Amino acid sequence: MPAGGLHGYLLAYLMELLRAPLKQRNHMLLMDVFMLYRDPQGVKRRIAPGLLFMPYRSPPPSAYDLDVEQAPRCLIEITSKESHLKDLKNNVSLYSSLGVSTYLVIDAVTPTGQPREPIELHLWRLIGERPRAQQADRDGYFILPEMGLKMIAEGQRIRLINRVTGEALCDTETLSSALEEARQSSQAAEQRARLAEMEVTRLKALLKQQ
């Protein structure tokens, strides 16, 4: 940690994408922060889940200690070349044993380190004492009631919408387009300002010549 490559980019992207809507619900995400827990022998261990969902706190904790904190309601992992097997198998039982009620894996990177096409989503919920794999709804969305959101993977895009209003959060393509439009608008404004300044300078020079 911190994560790098495509895995790290996607973690940071989701973190920023969800920051505002989660804060409105008085929640937040921690990225690659150590979660401290005790193994069956009582030995203190640590693991750094990709994204940890928790009630909003400022400043955010530097570590999440299960000796003093409740088990997170949701953890999110994004696969990487090194963590693929762990994310999709080992962590399912580990996180459920720690009391994590929802575990989401975004399988976006293959075991060979290549971008997955299409991205796959996997969701488990703790039902009783066992994790149960969840299916998407009839429209292909996975429900994340903790966050008030629905998520779907379409090719190599991830779309998130508000469960109540149906409003879409900016996905990668929409966000990129919006940023490019803002950049072009800013450049055009700067160009107009430079031209106006040049015109003022020219007029002043003409007045001096008269």
pLDDT one-digit tens code per residue, 29-77: 999 899 999 999 999 999 999 999 999 999 999 999 999 999 999 999 9
Provide mean pLDDT across the span 84-100. 95
| Distance in angstroms (rounded) separating the CA atoms of residues 172 and 97 | 34
Chain-centroid distance of CA 131 in Å reads 22
pLDDT one-digit tens code per residue, 154-206: 888 888 999 988 888 865 554 445 445 545 766 777 788 888 888 888 887 87
Residue 123 pLDDT? 98
Q: Which H or E element spans position 149?
A: strand 149-154
Residue 179 pLDDT? 43
pLDDT one-digit tens code per residue, 142-151: 999 999 999 9
What does CATH list as the number for 5-169?
3.90.1570
pLDDT tier, 2 (very low <50, low <70, confident <90, very high otherwise): very low
